[in-house]
Structure 1
């Protein structure tokens, strides 16, 4: 029995019916659970003696709205958590979909792993995912006055507003984005003896 098979069996035994989907791809296991079971499943992964995932090494938001050209049906937003067990020397990916696309929300994992703090703030800032129970959920990468969530697939690539210094007002101002459409034709430089030929 391989180490991955041992981990898979331990996950199935510990999580049982909480598992919605379990798949092995590229030598890694992804366990999907419901939003209702997310916090409880994470606690089991951390505390169960056969698993002992004591480190949260990454957490990120995902937007599936245009994944595979819209071929994915179901909730739009998800959270993927990468966990590491130093004691057992194995990793697992825990995945949960936010049940409501209009108000994406899942439980915060900061009570279990303090390292989730900044990752959850980043997922909130960039995707608008709410982490219920997070004690300091505020923007971390964008400005406090920023409008929208820039990693959402429907966010305009130009943004909504731009910030610039106004010399007359002697302060920073916000204004609607204005972009002039123009055609850019690259200039080709050819040298007769390019490359020594």
Structure 2
């Protein structure tokens, strides 16, 4: 795996990122570093993941340009495709995924659900503090951005409502993952 790009999020006023192409090239190199990589076993974890290695100004409003966001998302999907291709047969029930909030990609992640039961329940969010409501049939962030979904993956969009007691926020959440295994298979 390539050395990860530093993640950077600074509070306060920030200027637009200079030389975004340099940052995007580093993200592409990071993604290419996942060729042939499968995570080591972690018996005590339900999943392993990697965050998008980006300066927040590259991928979050108000600084981000949509083409840069699309390219960063494409890099995450490239990592997912590399992980899927590298998966050993004995890990066939483990699910590769990408999850992100839109339009803020800074906390986006790509990972592997090591526990199929955890994967099956991941998108079911119905607590008083957090709910995910499916977006209308046919909604597609990938289509909106002109990004191709890798073969063997499905896209699900949700409207998230998050209430931490002091503040309520709403956003879109997108999960791009492999189909869940059939129970008992």
TM-score range, shorter chain: under 0.3
Structure showing greater Rg: 1
TM-score (norm 1): 0.26
Which is helix-richer, 1 or 2?
Answer: 2
